[in-house]
Structure 1
Amino acid sequence: MTVEASTATSAVEPAEQQSNKGKFGVLVLIFVSVVINYMDRTNISVAANAISADLELSKVQMGIIFSAFAWTYSIMQIPGGMLVDAVRVRILYPVILVAWSIATLVQGMVSSLAAIVGGRMAIGVFEAPSYPANNKIVTHWFAEHERAGAIAIYTSGQFIGLAFLLPVLAVIQEWFGWRGLFIVSGLIGIGWAGIWYWLYREPKQITSTNRNNTNDQPVETNSESVSAIEPQAQVSLANLKFAFSQRKLWGIYIGQFCLGGTLIFFLTWFPTYLAEYRGLGDLNSGLLAAIPFLAAFCGVLLSGFVSDALVRKGFSNEFARKTPIIVGLLLSSSVIGANYVESTAMVTFFLSLTFFGNGLASINWVFVSLIAPRHMVGLVGGCFNFIGGLSAVTVPLAIGYLAQDGDFRPALAMICGLALLGLFSYLFWVGKVEQLQHHPDGESS
């Protein structure tokens, strides 16, 4: 059943009930897409030890592989955000899904460092528009007081999906080898692209269908529930200049970079940290690695729904939106505690607390829709993710150099420092949470 059909099954259903059905369907589609997105980013971390042994690669070379995705992912964020503003999401999303899934599949068929790096770079290119697209969908489908919860639900896909997928991916590798792991991952994404195109509809298409099903009597959609589709933004240097000239926006950009520093450690080096530095096997590392991801899943859902509840009770955006992020970044700095304990249980505790904090802070995408001019949500989202993506370029490389002698303690200290910098950014640079105004003639306020 398509999202469209689910919202127009009965002419006698209240419009709000139909709208809620549509929103639930949209969240399911984004959630699964995020799971697949992160599966194709992180299967390299599960396969890392096997690839390193098979191709005789050093830690520095593995750091290059880990960061290669982010080179193009970061560079393409701004063009990707502009593309999201200009192209219908129903068309764009399945196209990029197929493209990055093919790039994933091909990685299982190559045997050189250069070819694997090229595959990772290709995934970065085609995944770049995905999160700006997710944010645009939520901005159009959900009212402001619902958005943090909606963002929390789909963002949780990167945590809950990987919590269960990491052990599954480890088992797939045990059965089919690291090459089979990439091939299976790619085939899953290609199949999902067809399902997305079949099921997804734009909000305006829902309204049109509802009218047809009620003998041309308009169904009143709640403007607080399903936002009107914004006019497509024109690509312009004035818009780009605006996106990089606002202090508020730089505050969330830097916060995203720092938040990404913790996340990218867990998406790349974490299984290697457990397997080599903490002495666990690949399969055991995959099982143990699931625990912090579950903690992050709990953190992001708690953050999103508590934040929306505070808004509904009349608290300001400064308090309701910033508090979970500030607390989350503070908890993320507890990663340093893993440097001072020896037992597996205590290491797991500190890393789980760290990733729980990262989950709490992961509703920071809500600031894009709250602060960006409405016709620039895609572009600002691209800039936001561009700066955040730079952490995925630099952090894996930095960890590769810091841990090349096998000692991960300096790397964890660096992650702690990034969390504290992000905390400073939200406390002092973002300021009052309000929507910026920007006009085509270049005036802003």
Structure 2
Amino acid sequence: MRRTQNINLLLIFLICTVSYMDRGTLAVANPLIRQDLGLSVAEMGVLLSAFLWPYAFSLLLAGPIVDHVKPRRVLVAALIVWSIAQGAAGFVGSYLQFILTRAFLGVGEAPVFPTASRVTKDWYHETDQALRVGIWNGASSFGTAIAPALLTPVMLIYGWRWMFMLMAVIGFIFAGVWYGVYRDLDADALAPNDHHYLYGEGGAPETQSLHAAGWSRLFGFRATWGLILGFFGNVYVGWMFTAWLPGYLEIQRHMSIPKTGLVASVPFLFGLLGSMSGGWLADRLAKRGMTTIGSRKLLTVIGMVVMSAGTIVAAETPSNLLAVVSISVTMFFSLSSSGTSWALSSACAPPVYAASMGAIMDFGGFIGGALAPTITGFIVQATGSFTPALLVAGAIGLVSSAMYVVGIPAEPIRSEAVTPLPSQA
């Protein structure tokens, strides 16, 4: 069991890292693409959001598909689709073509995090899940961190088109590895001690099938809307920096492209540490007697408040050093609260709807994520500064932190409250 868990977690972490490197290629190549295609800052903001809208709405389908079809087949199909889209971006000749490739990249990547959530729910006891969620959730920050450092030299030597095609090849390789290595959980084949670890004394895995009626009933619970509205602000702030940090450092802080490639990596490395730290602490609190929902909710709210404060400080400081430090603090707590929020969604959901609940939450988050690059681009173009855009992001983060406070109840959603009766199915 332990060996299988470690292999699964490593694969999920690496695939999530690749997915965020793919998302970050456009941010890394921002200046050169704007120059080659003759795009304004506002047009680049729209292009940066082109991935996010299809991604957000595809999540609503991705979650139920993962729960129904299971992670192995869904994720290999997703890797193939998004790698084709990423490779096609290397051949675009117009702004519209670029928008279309980014849209298909969003569709292909939608199942990644719901799959990771379902794998964690399947293979770990609830008091061990938050740290594992923190590890694979931290891949979003790790992938974004290493993307500028690894891809900027490729872009400067071979051109930005080869950078996209290289990432496509890497995606195809991981599709083969995932399909060859991962196997979906078969509870009946578990050894007795492994069965006891996952399900406890006399426990048994939930055998109900996922139904469309049950999925739609999730929207009738306060917890679902608390997750949707809370995660909105988290992803808004996180994706604003994911999409615009290189551009922010070049435009607002007047850093060169090579220097930006290094400096832009620093805050996202702190994000990886934050994601793992938040997950570790949430599991520790749960093992010391705090409820899984209570521990994850507390850390999510604290992380959101500090994330918002760091964004506001970065907006107001004239110091480049303090700005980078503040953004690093922001990303540490953004990823900490993001990871505990994913663990919170799993704690709130019935087991058979784990991927569905995570996907619904992520949908709310990436509505914020989709708005962030466009709103930021228009604000910068209208004002000539990133300062108002960062202040807006900080305010949104604070409001969303309150949504977790008022929206998440103390008890999880019961399976019988969601799964329809046989006559209704």
TM over 0.5: yes
Query: Deviation of residue 431 (structure 1)?
Result: 2.4
Aligned 1:167-206 pairs, distance under 5 A:
167-204=149-186
Q: 1:224 aligns with which of 197, 202, 211?
A: 197
Distance (Å, rounded) in 1 between the aligned partners of 2:159 and 2:375: 28
Long gaps (5+) in structure 1: 1-18, 211-217
Q: Which residue of 1 aligns with 2:131?
A: 149
Relative to structure 1, the CA distance from residue 167 to residue 354 in structure 2 (aligned partners, 3 Å threshold; closer, same or farther) is same
Q: Which residue of 2 aligns with 1:5?
A: none
Specify the code of the residue in structure 1 equivalent to 2:266. Answer: I
Q: Which residue of 1 aligns with 2:296?
A: 321
Work out whether 1:280 is the aligned partner of 2:255: yes
Relative to structure 1, the CA distance from residue 84 to residue 318 in structure 2 (aligned partners, 3 Å threshold; closer, same or farther) is closer
Distance (Å, rounded) in 2 between the aligned partners of 1:61 and 1:230: 48
Relative to structure 1, the CA distance from residue 122 to residue 197 in structure 2 (aligned partners, 3 Å threshold; closer, same or farther) is same
State the Cα deviation string for residues 47-94 of structure 1 (Å, max 9, x = none).
Answer: 111100010001111111111111111111111111112213211111
Q: Which residue of 1 aligns with 2:413?
A: 435
Distance (Å, rounded) in 1 between the aligned partners of 2:192 and 2:293: 36
Q: Which aligned segments of 4 or more residues in structure 1 are displaced greater than 3 angstroms?
A: 225-235
Distance (Å, rounded) in 1 between the aligned partners of 2:422 and 2:308: 40
Aligned 1:102-121 pairs, distance under 5 A:
102-121=84-103
Work out whether 1:306 is the aligned partner of 2:249: no
Q: 2:67 aligns with which of 54, 60, 85?
A: 85
Q: 2:140 aligns with which of 141, 158, 166?
A: 158
Q: Which residue of 2 aligns with 1:407?
A: 385
Specify the code of the residue in structure 2 equivalent to 1:253. Answer: I
**Is 2:250–2:257's contact at 8 Å kept on the other side of the alignment?**
yes
Q: Which residue of 2 aligns with 1:340?
A: 316
**Is 1:149–1:304's contact at 8 Å kept on the other side of the alignment?**
yes
Aligned 1:358-397 pairs, distance under 5 A:
358-362=334-338, 363-397=340-374
State the Cα deviation string for residues 277-324 of structure 1 (Å, max 9, x = none).
Answer: 110112211210111111111111111111101111112335421222
Query: Deviation of residue 333 (structure 1)?
Result: 1.1
Q: Which residue of 2 aligns with 1:4?
A: none
Distance (Å, rounded) in 2 between the aligned partners of 1:234 and 1:355: 35
Relative to structure 1, the CA distance from residue 313 to residue 234 in structure 2 (aligned partners, 3 Å threshold; closer, same or farther) is closer
Which is further off, 319-328 or 89-98?
Answer: 319-328
Kindly report the root-mean-square deviation, in angstroms, between the aligned alpha carbons of the 2 structures.
2.0
Q: Which residue of 2 aligns with 1:246?
A: 221
Q: TM-score, normalised by structure 2?
A: 0.93
The total of aligned residue pairs comes to: 416
Distance (Å, rounded) in 2 between the aligned partners of 1:51 and 1:226: 52
Relative to structure 1, the CA distance from residue 340 to residue 382 in structure 2 (aligned partners, 3 Å threshold; closer, same or farther) is closer
Long gaps (5+) in structure 2: none
Q: Which residue of 2 aligns with 1:137?
A: 119
Distance (Å, rounded) in 1 between the aligned partners of 2:176 and 2:167: 15
- Indicate the SS of the match to 1:203: coil
Relative to structure 1, the CA distance from residue 276 to residue 368 in structure 2 (aligned partners, 3 Å threshold; closer, same or farther) is same
Relative to structure 1, the CA distance from residue 371 to residue 318 in structure 2 (aligned partners, 3 Å threshold; closer, same or farther) is closer
Q: TM-score, normalised by structure 1?
A: 0.89
Specify the code of the residue in structure 1 equivalent to 2:371. Answer: T
- Indicate the SS of the match to 2:176: helix
Distance (Å, rounded) in 2 between the aligned partners of 1:433 and 1:259: 23
Specify the code of the residue in structure 1 equivalent to 2:412. Answer: E
- Indicate the SS of the match to 2:381: coil
Query: Deviation of residue 226 (structure 1)?
Result: 7.5
Work out whether 1:419 is the aligned partner of 2:397: yes
Relative to structure 1, the CA distance from residue 160 to residue 393 in structure 2 (aligned partners, 3 Å threshold; closer, same or farther) is closer
**Is 1:148–1:307's contact at 8 Å kept on the other side of the alignment?**
yes
Distance (Å, rounded) in 2 between the aligned partners of 1:190 and 1:361: 31
Relative to structure 1, the CA distance from residue 147 to residue 106 in structure 2 (aligned partners, 3 Å threshold; closer, same or farther) is same
